[in-house]
Amino acid sequence: MASNSGQVVTRFAPSPTGFLHIGGARTALFNWLYARHHGGKALLRIEDTDRKRSTPEAIDAILDGLAWLGLDWDEDVVFQSERGARHVEVAEQLLAGGHAYKCYATPEELEEMRAAQRAAKQPLRYDGRWRDRDPADAPTGAPYVVRLKTPQEGETAIEDRVQGRVTVRNAELDDYVLLRADGSPTYMLAVVVDDHDMGVTHVIRGDDHLNNAFRQLPIYRAMGWAEPAYAHIPLIHGSDGAKLSKRHGALGAETYRDEFGILPEALFNYLLRLGWGHGDREEIDRDEAIALFDLDGVGKSPSRFDLKKLQNLNGHYIRAADDARLARLVAGRIDLPTDEALLTQAMPVLKTRARDLDELAEGAAFLFKTRPLAMTEKAQSLLNDDARAILHQVSTRLRAENDWTIEALEATTKSLAEELSLGLGKLAQPMRAALTGTTTSPGIFDVLVLLGREEALARLDAQAAPAAER
């Protein structure tokens, strides 16, 4: 892995123990945008050292979610589990340099230590009992872990790019484990070694990792490695201010795509604005985001996830989306045989009020229904005897219309409404029920044109006819 030669290098490093949740997706986005804005590299590392919980399915879900959001990576994906030998090599270098030591404390001794600390209401931390002892004091062949010798005096300060200057007294840091008794490296060691070897210059992650930065810096310093810049982003909360959970929308990216019908550009934009801002701008596309994004726009307070706001933003992107693309996405959401060409033709009128792909599918379903149409309860209630009499007159008048266009059909229907001394709504309501089986649809003249002359008249006649003939 090469050094970066002054180039900005960021990384997103998820643990594949589940889907790409909304917080992880935002972290990935911020890393990607920062690298793109500065002409640098965005790298992806899968931290799959927990072999029991890291599954191929979870890795695939993360990669799929990132690709759907349009986040691409500049080098091959790094799998942390494949780098164990390198992690051990660095631990041995730290041992040889006197920056780490072997600890032979048994699990029973460590539990006694913690029990005494709990009884004295002290922080639970390793007390350094093997820090300066001679390994020869240990029984021959006794198991041991390797611990880092952290500084004990003074304090460590980090100039965090989001949090500002943060200081911790070194006495609060304990000598944590680098290599377990079975020789396997710990997360804390692996992360530092991988970030260094990948040339990472900026570590952008959730502020729940801020304490880890103070524990990781001593490894950089002991090895004489360049330290990265840190940017710890406040976590996302629910709309009620509580920690984000599934009930707030802490779900996988694929759930927003598959179950909520959200477009990737809408989620991209929403996550961008979740904790980062540029004036009052709400709608920012991908190219603008790259041009505008920098860490000074990231706020220090937790942002609040609001599903309704996401859905409203999604509506904006649906209206802006290509009609043929929407037709492809919507076709699979309609439980009827569909015609993508007809769906594409209908999109300009279907998408004006839809907030998600399911609403689009629901609005388009009338095009593919077969007679006799299933009616919603509300639609059925509109079709009383007076309404059926009106539908008979509407059908008769429209059948005489040779120009089956929106303008001609509207003029003909309005003329009939005036003759009957009725408002246009008195005709449109039963027409909508008869034509779509529902009480909501695109404009009634759009519906007539999209259905076509033959099908539209057949649907009107089916509801205008006497009950015995239906």
- pLDDT tens-digit readout, 102-153: 999 999 999 999 999 899 998 888 998 999 999 999 899 999 999 999 999 9
Say yes or no to pLDDT of 222 above 50.
yes
| Residue 174 within a domain | yes
- The pLDDT value recorded for residue 245 is 64
Find the domain containing 142 and state its range. 80-191
Report the CATH number at residue 162: 3.90.800.10
Alpha-carbon distances of 204 from 27, 209, 230, rounded to whole Å: 7, 10, 6
Residue list for the binding site: 246
Say yes or no to pLDDT of 470 above 50.
no
Indicate whether 93 and 129 sit together in one domain: yes
Indicate whether 263 and 160 sit together in one domain: no
Chosen domain end from 291, 309, 327: 309
Say yes or no to pLDDT of 446 above 70.
yes
Say yes or no to pLDDT of 3 above 70.
no
Say yes or no to pLDDT of 467 above 50.
no
Indicate whether 41 and 89 sit together in one domain: no
| Residue 352 within a domain | no
Residues 6+ apart with CB under 8 A from 47: 13, 14, 15, 16, 80, 187, 190, 191
Number of H helices, E strands in the chain: 19, 12
Chosen domain end from 259, 274, 309: 309
Question: The tokens 């809408």 sit on which residue?
Answer: 266
| Catalytically active residues, by annotation | 246
Say yes or no to pLDDT of 249 above 70.
no
- Position 54 confidence tier, pLDDT thresholds 50, 70, 90: confident
What are all long-range contacts of 399-404, with beta carbons under 8 Å and residues at least 24 apart?
Answer: 399/457, 404/448, 404/449, 404/452, 404/453
Residues 6+ apart with CB under 8 A from 121: none
**Helix, strand, or coil here: 16?**
coil
Total number of domains in the chain: 3
Q: What is the mean pLDDT of the chain?
A: 93
Indicate whether 278 and 298 sit together in one domain: yes
Report the CATH number at residue 51: 3.40.50.620
| Residue 54 within a domain | yes
> Whole-angstrom Cα distance, residue 453 to residue 71?
46
Indicate whether 175 and 249 sit together in one domain: no
Indicate whether 380 and 462 sit together in one domain: yes
pLDDT, tens digit, for every residue of 163-179? Answer: 999 999 999 999 999 99
Indicate whether 140 and 87 sit together in one domain: yes
- The pLDDT value recorded for residue 350 is 96
Chosen domain end from 136, 168, 191: 191
Residue list for the binding site for ATP: 246
Element (H, E) at 146: strand 145-148
CB atoms within 10 A of CB 116: 11
> Whole-angstrom Cα distance, residue 456 to residue 367?
10
| Residue 314 within a domain | no
CB atoms within 10 A of CB 233: 29
pTM: 0.91
Indicate whether 449 and 420 sit together in one domain: yes
- The pLDDT value recorded for residue 358 is 96
Indicate whether 107 and 150 sit together in one domain: yes
Indicate whether 382 and 460 sit together in one domain: yes
| Residue 45 within a domain | yes
Indicate whether 168 and 263 sit together in one domain: no
> Whole-angstrom Cα distance, residue 291 to residue 284?
10
Report the CATH number at residue 450: 1.10.10.350
| Residue 230 within a domain | no
Indicate whether 68 and 52 sit together in one domain: yes
| Residue 454 within a domain | yes
| Residue 217 within a domain | no
